[in-house]
Structure 1
């Protein structure tokens, strides 16, 4: 089956709730987007809020409080909001390559023996408790007796703790003022059943990804998941199995081969453009899902303006399913920088969207527009 790029981009806009349907809970948005990156908490809140029709509370904090959302290190090793129901499957695929057992990782951070000792300590320490990083580090050091772990455990990057999160032993708890806390998902989430086997997890995660960012290639999925570090044989097995079972279908998008969910084919073919303009926050899944190297979303020459140093992903202007510029909050309100090659962006639509976002974030409603 063949699709035009226009059909695909229009379908993705609606699948990612950029048409702002009414009565969409935060959990539904997070589930559909396959998680929301939460390294910057305000960006995660805004990612949910801009997908709702009226300015107001994003709903992420109440969802975290009732534990229907969980905050945990997941895709690409970054902090995410995930639904409590979906988190085990995503974590299973993150753990599957066992990247922390690679010699280069061990040489830089901790040996396999040290990671095993940390895991054993955490499994004893965290169930039923919520500890700050400092408290958790102190108890791990006491149990392991390995002072060499002091530096790695205390690092704000959490590198040696991430593999423990991927194995389902650790997640973030509620903030203690300005301090991060950790707890065990096994006692934090009611009904937590542990991680499924990777083959079982893939049956859930791959269709979910394609349901928001498809049609897509196996490479795009793997880059989004774990920066291309999945075992290639496993990827082939998962996608082949889902295709043979009828869950996925191989399609063409402007001559390029990709996979789509079979259930979505008719909707993609019938997709109509989403009118208007959208201002999306930093680290938005619209960009992260397909990846910043996806030239159908981001012009390659503009990528340095989107993907910046230290992993920063800029807030973007979206028109006709593509990134048409960037924006930022300033003292005067919203400042937009449009890309000339993206074509004209309706001024009235841009002004309306800027006013909408300004109301959400509580800044001045002024709009300044430049074109580069």
Structure 2
């Protein structure tokens, strides 16, 4: 007997996603926001605004800095080689995927850094010992390596510092970036965050990351995972295909106006019962709402808006779809989005309140 595929409208699907991403009703705290989204970019976007727009009771600007300072959030190298905010309890799964490619074992790396792949465990142990009492400057690691027969030549990579060389230590959970967003670069152990859950085995991390993605960005298709976890974390298409197959019993196919998408089965009733509601949401450029599915996804980014979103313009969402952009001029939020629903006025007022520094 063939099980019928449930059908929903695109507006239903996007309304559900807006709620899942805390854009209709806010989250309790910054950790919940970042845990839901997976990662929030530090560079090219206003991470603090992205988080505070999703809070039920947002405080003054600086929420991200406060959460980093007390260990509720961490920042590290992950997606696309850049720096992201992550929730300590889920960061390890994403880092496991990023480390799976073992970039440090490539012939070019071995030859350039004069470091064999089997020498990494001893080097990592030295680095972990130095940063355990951090935050410390990368120079502290350089000082610990100076003069060592096996690793002395690598001291300069930390003294400079060489960000490319630092990244594998972050991916393997040896270091995280210090909490100060405005000062010089520092390193500390991710274990300083009380909820740090370490790096899980790869075949646990992969399915967990897929479940997290579908829970925040669903209904989605395998190509969205290729973009988010494949291009973003270099997880490898064959691994993603295998993990998807492993989760098949937990997924349900949904027909969204002719598009085949998938969702966690536990969310199917909630999606089907949801009713679209008109909404206007203003977000910072390169927000996860846009970057999670990618600017090629015309559900969220119509083709005429793609160039602006790729360049980092601030999106105006109407029912989850980018309809224009906004900017601040003389202290006021100015919209460039044509005719908008009445809800736009309240959203502008909300955003101006979030941007206002006490």
Name the TM-score, length of structure 1 as normaliser: 0.83
Counterpart CA distance in 1 for 2:9 and 2:104 is 41
Question: Is the alpha carbon distance of 1:71 and 1:274 closer, same or farther for their aligned partners in structure 2, counting shifts above 3 Å?
Answer: farther
String of CA shifts for 1:19-39, please: whole Å, max 9, x gaps. Answer: 134x62111111111122223
Separation in 2, partners of 1:24, 1:193: 21
Tell me which residue corresponds to 1:301.
304
Shift of 1:176: 8.1
2:235: which partner in 1? 230
Partner residue in 2 for 1:345:
340
Q: Deviations over 1:145-186 (max 9, x none)?
A: 21695499524xx22212211111110122286212111123
Return the offset for 1:288: 1.4
Distance 1:199 1:52 in 2: 33
The answer as to whether partners of 2:113 and 2:154 remain within 8 angstroms in 1 is no
Q: Tell me, in whole angstroms, the C-alpha distance in 1 between the residues paired with 2:197 and 2:20.
A: 29
- Correspondence for 1:369: none
Matches within 5 A, 1:1-372: 1=5, 2-21=7-26, 24-39=28-43, 43-57=46-60, 59-102=63-106, 110=113, 113=116, 116=120, 119-140=124-145, 143=148, 144-146=151-153, 149-150=156-157, 153-155=160-162, 158-175=163-180, 178-186=183-191, 188-190=192-194, 192=196, 194-227=198-231, 229-243=234-248, 246-308=249-311, 313-338=312-337, 344-346=339-341, 348-362=342-356
| Structure 1 residues not aligned, in runs of 5+ | 365-372
Structure 1 residues 1-48: Cα deviation after superposition (integer angstroms, max 9, x where no partner): 233222211111111111134x621111111111222236x8111111
Given the superposition, is the C-alpha separation of residues 252 and 160 from structure 1 closer, same or farther in structure 2, using an over 3 Å criterion?
A: farther
CA shift at 1:254, angstroms? 2.7
Deviation at 1:226, TM superposition (A): 4.3
- 1: distance between equivalents of 2:314 and 2:103? 31
Alpha-carbon displacement from aligned partner over 1:45-69 (angstroms, at most 9, x marks no partner): 1111112345523643333233122
C-alpha change, 1:112 and 1:252, in structure 2 (3 Å) is: farther
Question: Contact conserved, 2:77 with 2:170, CA < 8 A, in 1?
Answer: yes
Indicate the larger mover: 329-338 or 140-149.
140-149
How has the CA–CA distance of structure 1 residues 315 and 142 changed in structure 2, closer, same or farther, with 3 Å as cutoff?
farther
Output the CA distance in 2 between the equivalents of 1:20 and 1:142. Answer: 56
Q: Is the 8 A contact 1:88 1:194 kept in 2?
A: yes
**Gaps (5+ residues) in structure 2?**
none
**SS at structure 2 position matched to 1:159:** helix
CA shift for structure 1 position 260: 1.0
Count of residues in Structure 1 that have an aligned counterpart in Structure 2: 347
Native 8 Å contact 1:84 1:189 kept in 2? yes
Deviation at 1:214, TM superposition (A): 0.8
Q: Distance in 2 between the 1:81 and 1:260 partners?
A: 25
Q: Which moved more, 1:7-16 or 1:122-131?
A: 122-131
- Pairwise CA distance, 1:332: 4.5
**3-state SS of the aligned residue for 2:89?**
coil
**Deviation, structure 1 residue 138:** 4.8
Structure 1 CA distance for aligned equivalents of residues 275 and 290 of structure 2:
21
CA RMSD of aligned residues (A): 2.9
Cα gap change, 1:137/1:301 in structure 2, threshold over 3 Å: closer, same or farther? Answer: farther
> Is the CA contact (8 Å cut-off) linking 1:7 and 1:270 kept in structure 2?
no
CA distance in 2, matches of 1:94, 1:134: 25
Q: Aligned-pair distance for 1:96?
A: 1.4
- Relative to structure 1, the CA distance from residue 355 to residue 216 in structure 2 (aligned partners, 3 Å threshold; closer, same or farther) is same
C-alpha distance in structure 2 between counterparts of 1:147 and 1:102, whole Å: 17
Q: 1:234 Cα shift?
A: 1.3
